[in-house]
Each structure stands twice: as structure tokens, then as C-alpha cells.
Amino acid sequence: MPNPIIEKISSALEISRQKLREAKTENDIEAVRVDLFGRKGLMPALSKEMSAVPSEEKREVGNALNNAKNEIQTLIDEAKAAISSVSSSASDEIDVTLPGRTWKLGKKHPVTMVIDDCVSIFRRMGFIVAEGPEIETVYHNFDALNTPPEHPSRDPQDTFYFPDGRLLRTQTSPVQIRVMESRKPPIRIVAPGRVYRRDTPDATHGMNFHQIEGLYVDRNVSLSDLKSILLAFAHEMLGPSVGVRLRPHFFPFTEPSVEYDFSCIMCGGKGCRVCKNSGWLEISGAGMVDPNVFKTVGLDPETWSGYAFGMGIERIAMIRYRINDIRLLFENDVRFLKQF
């Protein structure tokens, strides 16, 4: 009569073969392995029963148990290999019935959008785009723009200098000088670009930002021409209800010089926290080109006149999109940028 343990081993082998043939996933195979070889599995339990087997039967029962373990392990390995083979071949196939992948399209940065819109507006007024280097000479950035040696903007505390004496331009005005040196009037250009200044970053200031410079040189150009251009720009960029205000100021390269403001689009000019209850938002500076600048570039100030203006792109973006902190424009936070 066969030993009871041998009968259990035979039964376990048959059940294992059946379950492994039906296994569809690695999890099914792992469940069979745990049932047989786990801490509370059948094989460890049968091994414990070996102590009760008569000594004359121990050899036969032990061999049957070891053979069963080896066969079951072989069956498990073969089942895993079969499933892995099926998975590998399936992964190489292309299921044409699956939906296509949706590719996310990139969008322009709000600063880039404002630059593009500014250029588009001024182009419709007859201006063309001019560019210049960001690493400039002292001559083009200061001397040719009638900036005296003692002017605070020349101080290393305000300007980034290189060991060779060149600097990172502090304004886009040097483009004016380069254009007037290379072209004869009439000249009508805008020059968008990045500028650099030593400044402590806060909600309204940064060490690098963008400006757009405008220059018009011709005969009989007046300050009223300048105001009309700024007013037309304000209406197209911020809306037809926006007004423009000129205030007397001083800049080395313009005479007379003005600062110009746009009426606050937040409150419609009535006064609010954004405009400090004045009804106006300061934009930047402008004025008639100083005769000394014309002389420096070889133009006769008795024959030619012109105006120049500049404005900060980030300031326009903050007003246009109602942004309260300039640093948001440069932190590359997708949650912020995807709003545009």
C-alpha cells in the first residue's frame, strides 16, 4: 500500500500541472508557488511529516518529495517563460485600433506676445525693426547718448562691466546710435531687446528685462508727433479709452524730455491701489533727440529733428494682463504660464 505522503505528493503534482496550464499572468503563477513552497505551503508541511515516516520508507518518500519539488519548480519556470514570451511578442505589435496620442502644443511666453504685439502696432505706423548687440561699448551706451562721465548710471553699482571695458547694455538706446551712424534720414525704427542693470529684484524690478525703443528722425518733427504716436499705441495695446499724459523730465539724450503715463486701465482713471489713487500708470521716458546726439552721429541738428521713446515690455505685460509681480514672468511656473 503506497505511503500517504507519496499519495499527497502525486495529488499535488497533478493539481499544480493543471493550475500552471491555466495560469494567464505572473500573479497566477506566483499564487501556485506560494501554495506549494510558501512558509505555510504544502511542501514544507510534507517535509515536517517525514519525521513520522517509518525508517524503512524514509528513502522512498524522501526521493519522491525531492523529485516533486524539482518538477514543480521546472513547471513554474516554464510557465513564466511562456507568459514572458507572449508579452514580449504582443508588445512588438502595433494596435491600430488604439486612439492616437495627443501632443501638447507649446505657447508663446507673455513677454514674447507683448513684444510681437508692440512690433506689429508700430509696423503699421511705418516703423521697421532694428537690432543691436547686448554686449555694448561705453561709447554707444553712454558717450554717444550725451551721458556725462559723472552720471550715476555709469557707476559699477548700476551697470555690469566686463574686464575689457565693455558692458551689458543698460538700455536699447544704443541701437539708435548704431542706426543713425549707418543710415541717412528719414529714419523710423523700433528696437525691442533685453537690457541689464544692477538692481535688487522685487515685485517691480529685475536685473534683466526687456525694452522697446522707438526713434523717428526727419525734417520738422515735433513733440505733438511723439504724443500722437504714443496715444495711438496705447489705444491699440490697452484699449480705446486709455489716455496719455506727458510730464516734464530730464534725460541726457533728449531735449526737451518727458515721462509719459497711460491712464489706469484697472480703475478707468478714477484712482485705485494699483495707480496709487492717481488715475495714471507711469510707463517710461521720451523726448526730442538732443542736438548733441545728432552732432555725435554726424547729422546737422539745424536740418534734422526727431523724437525717441522707450518703454519696458514687462511693465506693459503687467498692466495688460494685470500681473502684480514681475518675478512671475521669469519663474517658469507652468501653472502661471499656461494661463496665456
DSSP assignment string, 132-156: --SEE-HHHHTGGGT--TT-GGGST
Residue 198 lies in a domain: yes
Q: Identify the band that residue 178 occupies on the pLDDT scale cut at 50, 70 and 90.
A: very high
d(CA 305, CA 302): 8
- The CA distances from residue 60 to 6, 19, 69, in Å, are 9, 27, 14
327 and 284 within one domain: yes
Q: Could you tell me if 120 and 65 lie in one domain?
A: no
Residues 33 and 72 occupy one common structural domain: yes
Average pLDDT, the chain: 87
Q: Nearest 5 degrees, angle CA 113-CA 119-CA 120?
A: 85
In a domain, 98, yes or no: no
The answer to whether residues 58 and 119 belong to one domain is no
Mean pLDDT on 163-183? 95
Residues 238 and 331 in one domain: yes
Q: Give a yes or no: residue 103 inside a domain.
A: no
Residues 214, 292, single domain; the answer is yes
If asked whether residues 170 and 67 sit together in one domain, one would say no
Predicted pLDDT of residue 147: 94
| Residue that terminates a domain, selected from 63, 91, 119 | 91
Residues 317, 277 within the same domain: yes
Give the pLDDT of residue 277. Answer: 84
Q: Is it the case that residue 141 has pLDDT exceeding 90?
A: yes
| Domain endpoint, select from 44, 63, 91 | 91
User: Does one domain contain both 86 and 120?
Assistant: no
Note whether 181 and 46 are same-domain residues.
Answer: no
Look at residue 251 in the predicted model and tell me its pLDDT: 93
Q: How far apart are CA 189 and CA 166, in angstroms?
A: 25
Do 192 and 283 fall into the same domain?
yes
Which domain range does residue 34 map to? 4-91
pTM of the model: 0.67
Question: pLDDT tens digits, residue range 62-120?
Answer: 777 788 778 878 888 888 887 777 655 555 567 778 888 888 778 889 999 999 999 99
- Given 61, 91, 121, the domain boundary residue is 91
Q: Which CATH number characterizes residue 264's domain? A: 3.30.930.10
Whether 170 is covered by a domain: the verdict is: yes
Instruction: Assess if residue 262 is contained within a domain.
Output: yes
Any domain includes 105: no
Tally of domains in the chain = 2
Q: What separation, in Å, do the N-terminal and C-terminal C-alpha atoms of the chain show?
A: 86
Q: What is each CA distance from 263 to 30, 43, 117, 181, 327, in whole angstroms?
A: 74, 88, 20, 36, 24
Could you tell me the pLDDT band of residue 140, with boundaries at 50, 70 and 90? Answer: very high
In a domain, 34, yes or no: yes
> Please, which residues have CB within 8 angstroms of residue 158's CB and are 6 or more apart in sequence?
152, 170, 197, 198
pLDDT reported for residue 210: 94
pLDDT band at 170 (very low <50, low <70, confident <90, very high): very high
Q: Is residue 74 part of a domain?
A: yes
Kindly report, residue by residue over 256-276, the tens digit of the pLDDT.
999 999 888 878 778 877 778
The answer to whether the beta carbons of residues 219 and 305 sit under 8 Å apart is: yes
- Pair 179, 272 in one domain: yes
